[in-house]
Amino acid sequence: MSNNWRNYVLFFAQEHVAFRSAEITSLTQKFNIPIKYSVNHNEQQPFWLVELPDDKAAKDLASRSISLRCILELWGHSNCTKNIHTVVHNYVNSNFNELKSVFDKSFRITVETYNKHITQKEKVERIETFGYLPIKGEVNLKNPEVNWWYIEYYGLDNLNIPEKPIDIVFGKWLVDGRRSLLKDISLKTRKFIGNTSMDPQLSLLMANQGLVGKGDLVFDPFVGSGSLLVAAAKCGAYVMGTDIDYLMLHAKNRPSRISQKVREKDESIRANLRQYGCDQLYVDVLVSDFSNSIWHKSILFDSIITDPPYGIREAIERVERKEQSKPNTKTENDVHFPSTSTYNLSDLYDNLLSFSAKHLKLGGRLVCWLPVFKSDYCEEYLPKNNSLELVANSEQDISAISSRRLLTYEKIAEPCAELEETGNSEIIAEFRNKFFTYGEETRETRRMRQAELRAHGKRMAMLRANNEHKSSA
């Protein structure tokens, strides 16, 4: 490896582990950051050992990452408790001229263990083993100028925890990730939410995988309460969306919060953006049937980020097309409310990819969720379009048998109708039916099991009564 590169530790929060690799890969592409991983790289491990060109690259990466807790400047790494001190000692001696100013500052040493709890006394004992460091500054536990981290990793199996750590790192804190943003845009304090408002962490992960940046134009065709627009706006993008649900877009539907009886008059997607200081990035939201596009072919978006309805918690609807109107049902002066019909799930995804191929700029990204039954899933399951390349595919469990996939596509060519390609539409279309069929089977199985338990309880009670009667006789 190049001697000009520097060693770092990417220290992750253990949430949404399956999405961290796609996020880091997307952000290194966005900021044009070359990155090298260690030989024994393990994506499941809470810390990654990497090489980056310099501190600026590390700070750029952390400035957007939601998965990262922090990035450390690596001083030592070993799978042996004794050897870690030899490695750190040698690092300090080899780089003393560069590091000596660090030892004059106030400091603290943070001890972290993964998959094993240790007492405060044990943490102090580990800190004291670093007495050989030539530190002259004072201890400052609240606001130190230098923060060293000592991390012990005991594997991922919490039923088989080894006595000794299988991996250890020691490094100096460099920069935190953007996890503080999760509290800032929490759904608990958000002005306007719906039943399916996206979790802030997943919203921001989607924005990162969409390569959303300052000044971009981002579109959500199934906007709902606008959670994905909030995430994109926090990344500096101009945002807009559409939805067929008039009541949702105008905040006239039933409130989602149990304690709230009626919607407040000023609830809206724009109010959410105003709440987070992003009002100037709001373009508009429109009531629109996605199956009947309203957009001129010249309209291009930098990113399309969306969570389409699956027909489970939210209906999949399209405006119903009628060849002939029923007689005597309306006059010219009547307000027309178009009726809706079911929007086939496979047609929805075919339309979504086709729309993205037409209305994304070259290099633009579509980020969307796709529900799957695990037993059905294979790569052929996924929707396809020759203008779009699938660059990321991460799974989030919904239940023991179903999950949803976060798919990220990148536009690589202008669309050509003759070459348009789709995935296994039959499997996608059957998701809703299978979901409810399985749900009915599960409920029936549960009722049968409960009936069996009740019958067994009655039999046991009768046996006890008979035995007591015989004993007394």
Give the pLDDT confidence of 322-357 residue by residue, as tens digits.
Answer: 555 555 655 666 655 566 667 788 889 999 999 999
Lowest mean pLDDT among 103-107, 199-203, 235-239, 451-455: 451-455
Residue 71 lies in a domain: yes
Judge whether 356 and 409 are in contact, CB under 8 Å.
yes
User: Do the beta carbons of residue 239 and residue 194 sit within 8 Å?
Assistant: no
Q: Of 178, 198, 231, which one is at a domain's C-terminal end? A: 178
Residues 167 and 187 in one domain: no
> Would you say 370 and 383 are in contact if contact means Cβ atoms under 8 Å apart?
yes
Question: Is pLDDT of 457 > 80?
Answer: no
Where among 128, 163, 178 does a domain terminate?
178
Domain shared by 217 and 289, yes or no:
yes
With a cut of 70, say whether residue 67 has pLDDT above it: yes
Q: Is 417 or 396 the better-scoring residue by pLDDT?
A: 396
Averaged pLDDT score across all residues of the chain: 88
> Within this chain, do residues 106 and 162 fall inside the same structural domain, yes or no?
yes
Residue 299 lies in a domain: yes
- pLDDT > 50? residue 37: yes
Confidence of residue 446 (pLDDT cuts 50, 70, 90): low
pLDDT at 346: 86
pLDDT-based confidence at residue 59 (cuts at 50, 70, 90): very high
Residue 205: which CATH number? Answer: 3.40.50.150
- Give the span between the Cα atoms of 383 and 353, in whole angstroms: 8
Domain identity same for 149 and 290: no
Is 446 inside any structural domain? Answer: no
- Confidence band, pLDDT 50/70/90 cuts, at residue 363: very high
Domain carrying residue 70: 6-178
- What string of DSSP letters covers 44-97? TSSEEEEEES-HHHHHHHHTT-SSEEEEEEEEEEESSHHHHHHHHHHHHHHTHH
Q: Which amino acid is at 37?
A: Y
The predicted structure's pLDDT at residue 2: 46
Q: In terms of DSSP bridges, do strands 146-153 and 107-114 run parallel, antiparallel, or are they unpaired?
A: parallel
Q: Tell the burial category of 280 from Cβ atoms under 10 Å away from its Cβ (0-12, 13-18, 19+).
A: exposed
Cα separation, 185 vs 203, whole angstroms: 10
- Taking the C-alpha atoms of residue 467 and residue 454, their distance in angstroms, rounded to an integer, is 20
Rounded to two decimals, the pTM is: 0.86
Same domain, 236 and 106: no
Percent of the chain with pLDDT over 90: 69
Q: Is 153 in the same domain as 235?
A: no
For residue 130, the domain's CATH number is: 3.30.2130.30
Q: Which residues on adjacent β-strands are paired with residue 236?
A: none
pLDDT reported for residue 449: 63
Identify whether residues 165 and 208 lie together within a single domain. Answer: no
Interatomic CA distance for residues 348 and 202, integer angstroms: 22
Average pLDDT over residues 306-319: 76
Pair (260, 300) in one structural domain: yes
Q: Is the pLDDT of residue 1 over 50?
A: no
Of the candidates 262, 257, 195, 263, the one whose C-alpha atom is nearest the C-alpha of residue 224 is 195
Q: DSSP class of residue 139?
A: B
Are 172 and 193 contained in the same domain? no
Long-range CB pairs of 332-339 (<8 Å, 24+ gap) are none
What pLDDT does residue 425 have? 61
pLDDT in tens, 9-36: 999 999 999 999 999 999 999 999 999 9
Is 297 a member of any domain? yes
Query: What φ, ψ does residue 124 adopt, rounded to 5°?
Result: -65, -40
In a domain, 285, yes or no: yes
The closest alpha carbon to 208, from 63, 353, 309, belongs to: 63
Task: Please provide the distance, in angstroms rounded to a whole number, between the alpha carbons at the two ends of the chain.
Answer: 89
User: Residue 375's pLDDT is what?
Assistant: 83
| Judgement on whether residues 142 and 39 belong to the same structural domain of the protein | yes
Do both 139 and 198 map to the same domain?
no
Structure tokens at 47: 């810390």
* Residue 429 CB coordination number (10 Å): 15
**Total structural domains in the chain?**
2
Question: Residue 281 has what pLDDT?
Answer: 98
Instruction: Mark 60-75 as b/e (b = at least 16 C-beta within 10 Å).
Output: bbbebbbbbbbbbbbb
Residue 217 lies in a domain: yes
- Within a domain: residue 425? yes
CB contact set of 465 (below 8 Å; sequence gap of 6+): none
Determine, yes or no, domain membership for 24: yes
394, 22 Cβ separation under 8 angstroms:
yes
57 plus 126 within the same structural domain: yes
Domain edge (last residue) among 109, 143, 178: 178
Tell me which of 31-35, 266-270, 308-312, 390-394 is least confident: 308-312
